[in-house]
Structure 1
Amino acid sequence: MIVITLTKVPASLRGDLTKWYQEIQTGVYVGNVSARIRDLLWDRVVQNIGNGEATMVYNTNNELGYQIKTTRKMYKVVDFDGIPLMMHLNSTAVSGFEKHGFSNAAKFHRARMVAQKSEKPRVTKTNSYFVSLDVETTGLNPDKNQIISIGAVKKINDKKYDSFYRLIKVDTAVPKTITELTGITLELLKKEGVTLDRALRELTEFISSATIIGYNLQFDLSFLMSGYRFVNLKEPDNETLDLLPVVKKAEKFIDNYRLATILDFYNIKNSKPHNALSDAKATLQLLYKLMENGNIKV
């Protein structure tokens, strides 16, 4: 069992955690994931916490049966004969704490989303052409991990859709947990993958001038923009629309906001969860459902 508490953190970070944990009360998340995923998620919390604070408690083999991690400036976790204790710090000790901030990718996306934010998402008729986007990666940190697949889909007419799917060659191992989640292995990427440069060039052409949509889109865009910079390609400046905050505003009493939970709530079928193309297709259907319900105005 893992429990994470958050205070005064960016909404995007809360959205990230709902993919893996259940929010049982505002700012309190409970879940049960592997130690590797737990540590990756904690790294992401620390990197994207802004001026907020977080504490994590998880099962481990010690006298109490649990361990504690925290970013709280007034406290420090100390070991007392194998027992983790929260030690209250005085103001002198606190002044030396490192101030956590956003990664460059998170700052980039946050600035774009703030500029586009409105009371109710609105798209004009000239921008009613959408591309739904999803990526799968080797981890949660765009500065350390890599994209392994990109999926995108757009509607041509009432009966026809056009899709884009690329596996990406990587220069590192694919973690076992990621393979179990996505079905993607290093051998598959070596056999069927293309270079990141080629994939992003083809993706840019596929997207064209469309509005990019996604679910927890900040995660996908942070990896994509990092990828564009890595291969020295111009980053797309398309309009974007993240459906996660739209759903949170429309449905305030859902147990959690994981994509699978939301798709089930709206009776949308996703044949291959954690497959980039399948997730993108399901997210596009979610967009039209939200538009039909009046949660997004055209």
Structure 2
Amino acid sequence: MIVITLTKVPASLRGVLTKWYQEVQTGVYVGNVSAKVRDLVWKRICRDIGQGQATMVYNAKNEFGYQFRTTRNDYQVIDFDGVPLMKHLKQAPTARKRGFSDAAKRRMAQKMSKKVNKAVNATEVVELVAVDVETTGLDVTKDAIISIGAVKMGKTGKFEDFDVLVKTKLDVPEAITELTGISNHDLDSQGISLTSALEQLKQFVGDLPICGYNLRFDDEFLTTGFEKNAITELTNRRIDLLPVVKKTNQFLDNYRLMTTLSNYSIENPSPHHALSDARATLKLATKLIENGNLQI
């Protein structure tokens, strides 16, 4: 069993803990998770604790059967012949001021240089295209593309849109119509052939990198379309944002696009609409680049 106590911490951190622990009293959380999750949660606490304090007690193989950690600076966890003890400090230790030696000064200068370079790079406009497709279903061997949306950000920083409906001999299932808002009538009256749609997409994308969220799904349908219509496939660099988000945010409830966008405070007014999803995906890519989690 694991017990965590929190005082004066941000409300967001309390909300995070309720994913793994039960709050039995204000600021007191009890749970039973693996050592890996326990350590990851503790790292998250230390990172987001702000001006608050936290103490954790958990099972351990020692004489007492437990161990503890704390962020309090007026106590120190010590090991006395295998027995964990909390030592009360009369005076909290102060951080040693760095920069006395020439070596320390050089290290500080290097860190500052990296920060400046990162800030400069963050302001650079990255040329990128986000692509999204809507289909009649999930099976690439049986289903067909009914819509392609793409958004391009060029050197000027301005956005350009690409949005087409694609005709198909297949009937659009009612569930897909409810999800996307695309009906058979829409495709018949406004749709263009897949051949024309793919050729226009190639021209729109050019040689820019292509990003998407769970891009493998979209890429499979596009690749199949190129092959069936005897069109040269796209050779652009592909960037799937899903694994980047999974690596960066290990504590999301799930990794559906809507959940991820909400975590990054990105609005998507028309989910499951190819162009709207592409716009939101490009904004997500921009956020990841600004945060230093994605390099193009």
**What is the CA distance between 1:286 and its match in structure 2?**
0.1
Cα pair 1:128 1:211 within 8 Å, conserved: no
2:214 is matched with which residue?
A: 216
Q: Which residue in 2 is equivalent to 1:17? A: none
Q: Following the alignment from structure 1 to structure 2, what is the Cα–Cα distance between the partners of residues 273 and 158?
A: 27
- The CA distance in 2 between the partners of 1:267 and 1:177, in whole Å, is 28
1:9-53 Cα shifts (integer Å, max 9, x gaps): xxxxxxxxxxxxxxx99xxxxxxxxxxxxxxxxxxxxxxxxxxxx
Matched pairs, number:
176
Q: Distance in 1 between matches of 2:295 and 2:219?
A: 23
Residue of structure 1 aligned with 2:253, choices 246, 252, 255: 255
CA–CA distance in structure 1, aligned partners of residues 140 and 127 of structure 2: 28
Distance 1:218 1:135 in 2: 11
- Which residue number in structure 2 is paired with residue 269 of structure 1? 267
Q: Distance in 1 between matches of 2:157 and 2:140?
A: 36
The aligned counterpart of 2:164 is 166
Counterparts in 2 of 1:240 and 1:137: CA distance versus 1, 3 Å: same
Structure 1: distance between partners of 2:266 and 2:126: 21
1:291 deviation in Å?
Answer: 0.7
In the other structure, the counterpart of 1:237 is 235
Structure 2 distance, partners of 1:156, 1:238, is: 15
SS state at 1:142 partner: coil
Quote the offset at 1:128 in angstroms. Answer: 4.1
Residue by residue, what CA displacement relative to the aligned partner does 1:210-250 show, whole Å, maximum 9, x if unpaired?
00000000000000000001111111111000000000000
Instruction: Give structure 1 stretches of 5+ with no counterpart.
Output: 1-23, 26-126
Which residues in structure 2 correspond to 1:102-181 (within 5 Å)? 128-157=126-155, 160-181=158-179
2:36 corresponding residue in structure 1: none
Percent identity between the two aligned chains: 49
Matched residue SS, 2:176: helix
Q: Which amino acid letter does the alignment assign opposite residue 276 of structure 2?
A: S
Aligned partners of 2:150 and 2:157: how far apart in 1? 17
> Is contact 2:128–2:154 with CA below 8 Å preserved after alignment?
no
Query: Which residue in the other structure is 2:89 paired with?
Result: none
Deviation at 1:158, TM superposition (A): 5.7
Distance in structure 1 (CA, Å) of the matches to 2:208 and 2:157: 19
Q: Alignment RMSD, CA only?
A: 2.1
Distance in 2 (alpha carbons) for counterparts of 1:143 and 1:130:
29
Write the mapping of 1:1-298 to structure 2, written as runs, cut at 5 A. 128-157=126-155, 160-298=158-296
| 1:149-180 CA-partner distances (Å, limit 9, x unpaired) | 00000113565211100100010110010000
User: Using a 3 Å threshold, how does the CA distance of structure 1 residues 158 and 262 change in structure 2: closer, same or farther?
Assistant: farther
Determine the C-alpha separation between the residues in 1 that align with 2:295 and 2:187.
40
Q: Distance in 2 between matches of 1:248 and 1:283?
A: 15
Preserved CA contact (<8 Å) 1:211 1:238: yes
> Alpha-carbon deviations, 1:116-142, whole Å to 9, x = none?
xxxxxxxxxxx9421100000000011
TM-score scaled by length of structure 1: 0.57
| Amino acid of the structure 2 residue aligned with 1:272 | S
Q: Tell which structure's C-alpha radius of gyration is larger.
A: 2
1:297 deviation in Å? 2.6
Instruction: Name the CA distance, whole Å, in 2 between partners of 1:188 and 1:292.
Output: 38
For residues 186 and 264 of structure 2, the distance between their equivalents in structure 1, rounded to whole angstroms, comes to 33
Counterpart residue number, 2:6: none
Q: How far apart, CA to CA, are the structure 2 residues paired with 1:293 and 1:188?
A: 40
- The one-letter amino acid of 1:138's match is T
Letter in 1 for 2:193: T
The Cα offsets for residues 238-271 of structure 1, whole Å up to 9 and x where unpaired, read as: 1000000000000001000000000001000111
